[in-house]
Structure 1
Amino acid sequence: MCGRFTLIVSLEELMLRYELDPGYSIPYHQPQYNIAPTQMVLSIIHDGSRLRLGELRWGLVPSWAKDISIGSRMINARSETLLDKPAYRRPFERKRCLIPADGFYEWRRTENGKRPYRIRLKDGGIFSMAGLYDIWLQEDGSKLATCTIITTPPNALMEPIHDRMPAILRPEDELRWVERGTADPRELQQLLLPYPAEEMEAYPVSTAVNSVKNDSPLCIEPSTPRFEP
């Protein structure tokens, strides 16, 4: 699964990475070391003519949901069953997004309990997790935009740590994923593969990340021993 991640790059780096238009209003951003479900996360959608950066609440609330509580149970969507689940089928066909990150956390079971690891690209760069979003109408008539992160089976690096990992898109596939218009869901599903293990690395981090209250550089500092897959 994917239950925590990081985005510690600057807003300027994000703008350059995705070639975003600086001429429209963008959300405020500061380094985030421990992003958790139900928080607002930076996300990228295509408005029909260009990519746009905005915020979505992490935890999908389908448009037909009776209340917001369902969102806490829908932080992840399995890539293999997107077309089988009513909550994900329509967003998969029409409302796809990119969720930028520069690392994510997962907890490995050990004899001494669960140990947190941070997983990132070897070059430390920004990557795009494939996501879905939907719009839910609240009782007061206001709209709430929410999202979920798609997961895949693990690659060789992740397999000893956890049995799922976020679906990380190749840069050349990002625009195809978010473009509006007619698209074959079966073809899009082929983009949701485990990211190449040889391009990633994992290292143990402090248990400070276990608490969502902690959001500081301490969360990403390497601990020991190093992880060897």
Structure 2
Amino acid sequence: MCGRFAFHSLDFSALAEAVHQPDLFADVEPRYNVPPGTLISVARRADDDAPVTIDRLWWGYRPHWADAKAPQPINAKAETVATSKYFAPAFQRHRCLIPADGWYEWLLVDGRKQPHYLTRTDRQTLYLAGIWTERGDDLPPGVAIITEPARGSAREVHDRMPLALSDDSLEPWLDPHFTERDAIRGVTRHVDASLIEHWTVSTAVNKPGDDRNAALINPL
């Protein structure tokens, strides 16, 4: 799954190049422990003809047509996101990217959960595939991060991981003209598993209130 991540480099260069918008920019601050139920930086097209923008959306997905008591998932499984009634409309028309430097997972060791930080070996920005939807409340549109079965070294920590897309998949993922599952699969691929590494970090990351502390991602 993906329930906590970090985005501190604020580097959108790969995305800017992919969508041919060299001035793509967002006035955001570094965050080292981003929890659900907060505003996060999301790259999307607000409508089919709009340019890609970096907007502040709510990490918690609940479509406007859903009941107020409906679930607000933070993740959507890659295996079912295109066919689920809850997610399919957004998968077709409202795909987005969540830039991140890495994410956290917890591994049970001797009865205690030890946090690990997972990131790219080359420290380039990860672009996590997501979907967004207009909500039926006063919050901005809501987002869910798509997850897939863990690959490579990520399997040592958790059985699932966020779907991080390769740089050449960014533009087609955001292209509203691709609406069918097979067509989208044909033009996108995930980051090579060999590019993902992880290390243990302090249990201070367990407290979601502190997201400005750069030491949270330091190896123990």
Paired amino acid for 2:176: R
Q: CA offset at residue 143 of structure 1? A: 6.0
Q: CA offset at residue 197 of structure 1? A: 2.3
- The aligned residue for residue 177 of structure 1 is 173
Q: Indicate if the aligned counterparts of 2:169 and 2:189 stay in contact, CA closer than 8 A.
A: no
Query: Cα distance 1:97–1:37, how it changes in 2: closer, same or farther (>3 A)?
Result: same
1:212 aligns with 2:211: no
Equivalent residue of 2:140, what SS? strand
Q: Indicate if the aligned counterparts of 1:100 and 1:127 stay in contact, CA closer than 8 A.
A: yes
CA distance in 2, matches of 1:186, 1:143: 32
Could you tell me which runs of 5 or more consecutive residues in structure 1 were left unpaired when the two chains were aligned: 224-229
CA distance in 2, matches of 1:158, 1:90: 30
CA distance in 2, matches of 1:194, 1:27: 24
Query: Cα distance 1:191–1:81, how it changes in 2: closer, same or farther (>3 A)?
Result: farther
Q: Which residues of 2 match residues 134-153 of structure 1 at below 5 A?
A: 134-138=133-137, 142=138, 144-153=140-149
> CA RMSD for the aligned pairs?
2.1
Query: Cα distance 1:194–1:38, how it changes in 2: closer, same or farther (>3 A)?
Result: same
Could you tell me which runs of 5 or more consecutive residues in structure 2 were left unpaired when the two chains were aligned: none
- The aligned residue for residue 50 of structure 1 is 51
1:120 aligns with 2:119: yes
Query: Cα distance 1:27–1:210, how it changes in 2: closer, same or farther (>3 A)?
Result: same
Equivalent residue of 1:159, what SS? helix
Q: Indicate if the aligned counterparts of 2:95 and 2:132 stay in contact, CA closer than 8 A.
A: yes
- The aligned residue for residue 35 of structure 1 is 34
CA distance in 2, matches of 1:104, 1:69: 27
- The aligned residue for residue 4 of structure 1 is 4
Query: Cα distance 1:182–1:122, how it changes in 2: closer, same or farther (>3 A)?
Result: closer
1:18 aligns with 2:19: no
- The aligned residue for residue 106 of structure 2 is 107
Query: Cα distance 1:155–1:193, how it changes in 2: closer, same or farther (>3 A)?
Result: farther
CA distance in 1, matches of 2:156, 2:188: 20
Moved over 6 A (4+): none
TM-score (norm 2): 0.89
TM-score (norm 1): 0.85
Q: Indicate if the aligned counterparts of 2:78 and 2:148 stay in contact, CA closer than 8 A.
A: yes
Q: CA offset at residue 63 of structure 1? A: 2.0
Query: Cα distance 1:21–1:194, how it changes in 2: closer, same or farther (>3 A)?
Result: closer
CA distance in 2, matches of 1:145, 1:40: 10
CA distance in 1, matches of 2:127, 2:26: 18
